[in-house]
Structure 1
Amino acid sequence: MRKKLLSRRKKAQSPITAKTEGHILYLERKFDAPRELVYEAYTKAEHLARWWGPAGWTVPVCKVELHPGGSWHYCMESPDGTVKSWGKAIYREINEPEQLVYNDYFSDEEGHIDPEAPGLLITLGFHEEDGATKVVNRAEYASPEALRNSLNMVVAGMNQTWERLADYLQSIQSK
């Protein structure tokens, strides 16, 4: 019981923050874990499959080829198993453990990118702060309208995803 109470306190102290500038969305959150571990959680399939996606969703497929030009191809499955959402990221820059830059797209099961859905340019920064790690997610949309149309859904989804990451990081550090 005490562990859960402490866990809730830590989460309450590191909420997600969001701001927009034109067609760019910035999301930030501090995690109570070393930068190298947070970076690893973002770059290794065995970690990503355990925490990526909104609450209740699973990641039955997760493949990572971590190098410039490589990809992260994954499937998120809804809690009842009726919805599958495929995604593919193409890595542009990798600066371990400070930064990842990639283009993020919807895809199909084979990894073909959906030409009808514009992708996002994502820059993830991993910053050490007092023994913790602040993650800064910069997402560049095609237009301010595209950002406005998805803002609430994206912020809610990333809030749930980062809650799962915080829980996962805590669980692997306590082993």
Structure 2
Amino acid sequence: MKSKTTIEGNDLIITRHIAASPEVIWDALTNPEKLKIWFAPRPWKITDIVLEPHPGGRFQLTMVGPDGEGEGCDPNEGCVLLVEPNRRIAWTDALAGGFRPNAKPFMTAIITLEPKDGGTQYTARALHSNGEDRQRHEEMGFAEGWGTCIEQLVEMVE
């Protein structure tokens, strides 16, 4: 079963049933070394990551393409907003670690894990402040990129 992408107002939502427990998925989602493996759509890769899974914690990563795209760019630091172990995590690029404002906010992400049918219903919601940002995220390849990452997560946990 593949991921399903929907739009609700200014939100992009992608869902997928995964045949693994919320605890196993949570570990892959909050352990930086595991997140590094699946959270960039191959052939892109994460070369550096900081994830502090507590409210106010930093969430920063550097993603590099197969031809060096993104190399040398300043990493985009975000802030973890909410942590409900094995259930839900939210972060935003509107803030940096310690709830410090960032100059150019783009989105807030909420990942929800719900036990379902012997596995987990994984839902990723990207919230945008306006339709223009949502449209830009769609055009950047949200469905393809996040969908690929979810399939890579499935490879890891199932």
CA distance in 1, matches of 2:95, 2:41: 16
CA distance in 2, matches of 1:105, 1:118: 4
Query: Structure 1 regions of 5+ residues with no counterpart?
Result: 1-12, 171-175
Q: Between Structure 1 and Structure 2, how many residues are aligned? A: 152
- In the TM superposition, residue 143 of structure 1 has moved relative to its aligned partner by 0.4
Q: Runs in 1 of length 4+ with deviation above 6 angstroms?
A: none
The equivalent residue for 2:10 is 23
The equivalent residue for 2:105 is 118
Q: Does 1:69 align with 2:49?
A: no
Question: Structure 2 residue aligned with 1:45, among 14, 23, 32?
Answer: 32
Query: Structure 2 regions of 5+ residues with no counterpart?
Result: none
Q: Does 1:143 align with 2:130?
A: yes
Give the counterpart letter for 2:49 in structure 1: C
CA distance in 2, matches of 1:106, 1:154: 21
- Higher helix proportion: 1
Which structure has more relative contact order (CA 8 Å, sep 6+)? It is: 2
Q: Does 1:90 align with 2:114?
A: no
- In the TM superposition, residue 105 of structure 1 has moved relative to its aligned partner by 6.0
Give the counterpart letter for 1:97 in structure 2: N
Alignment TM-score, normalising by the size of structure 2: 0.86
Larger Rg: 1
CA RMSD of aligned residues (A): 2.2
CA distance in 2, matches of 1:65, 1:28: 24
